[in-house]
Structure formats: C-alpha cells, structure tokens
C-alpha cells in the first residue's frame, strides 16, 4: 500500500452535506436514506463549520422520546453538531489521514479545499478498502 498517494484518490466525492440551520429530523432522515455515518455541516457561505455522526443521533434517540415530534423537528443541527472539526486537504497523503484517524479515534475526516469548502470525505472504511484492494 502506497501511503503517499493523495487522499483525493480514495475519498468519497461528492459528499452529502447539510446546513447548520437544518433540523435534527432532517439529519435523522438523511441517515435513514443513506448508508454513511457522518455528515459535514456547512454555514450559509458553504464553508464547513461542523460534523454530525449517526452515533450522535443514536445517542439522542433515547432523549427523543421525551420530545414531541414537532419539538424534535425544531432542534437545529448547530445546537448538536461537533464544531472542532479536523479537516484534511485533497493533496494530503493517505498516510496522514490514517495517522489522524487513528490518533484521534475518528471514523471520518472531511476533505476541504483552500476555501474551507468540502470536496470529499475520507473514512476509516475508505482507508481499509484502499489497504486491502489488492487482497480481495
């Protein structure tokens, strides 16, 4: 496995994103519709300001029963997303992505351009698939 290749060669792109003003109900529906586990969150200028995971939503499900469906639909993503987002550039290496993911126990890294706009996402699954592509 060549760990020096750029992340852009293994990342998932395009990426489904949501906005910080969207509701958690929309996040939940997006996770139900798709098989991924992380959604980058954008501000009104289209720049990444957060990330939310399926695990975040699953944790909320136990609390969700205390809310009416209408109340749950009013909770904004910005109030629940992780805001300390570690990002990587499309030109950064697969090896760097692996080190960041392992060191921080992350499962996904948004890939952003020099304008802080999401151009992809690299996940632990992407790294495993790349590492074992010749073995399968």
Instruction: Check residue 46 and give left, alpha or beta (phi > 0: left; psi -120 to 50: alpha).
Output: left
If one counts every other C-beta atom within 10 angstroms of the C-beta of residue 30, the result is 18
> What's the pLDDT band for 135 if we cut at 50, 70, 90?
low
Q: Give how far the C-alpha of residue 36 lies from the chain's centroid of Cα atoms, to the nearest Å.
A: 9
Sign of CA dihedral 41, 18, 122, 111: negative
Across the range 74-103, mean pLDDT stands at 95
Decide yes or no: CATH 2.60.40.1120 for domain 7-131. no
Q: Can you tell me the mean pLDDT for 75-81?
A: 91
Task: Give the start-to-end residue ranges of the domains of the chain.
Answer: 7-131
How big is the chain by its Cα radius of gyration, in Å?
16
């Amino acid at each position: 496995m060549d760990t020096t290749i750029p992340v852009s060669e293994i990342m998932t792109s395009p990426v489904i994103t949501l906005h910080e003003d969207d509701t958690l109900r929309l996040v939940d529906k997006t996770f139900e519709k798709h098989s991924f586990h992380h959604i980058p969150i954008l501000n009104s200028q289209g720049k990444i300001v957060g990330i939310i995971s399926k695990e975040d939503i699953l944790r909320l499900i136990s609390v969700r029963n205390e809310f009416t469906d209408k109340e749950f639909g009013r909770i904004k993503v910005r109030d629940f997303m992780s805001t300390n987002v570690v990002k990587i550039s499309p030109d950064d290496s697969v090896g760097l992505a692996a080190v960041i993911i392992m060191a921080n126990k992350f499962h996904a890294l948004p890939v952003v351009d020099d304008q802080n706009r999401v151009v992809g996402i690299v996940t632990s699954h992407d790294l495993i698939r790349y590492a074992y592509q010749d073995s399968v």
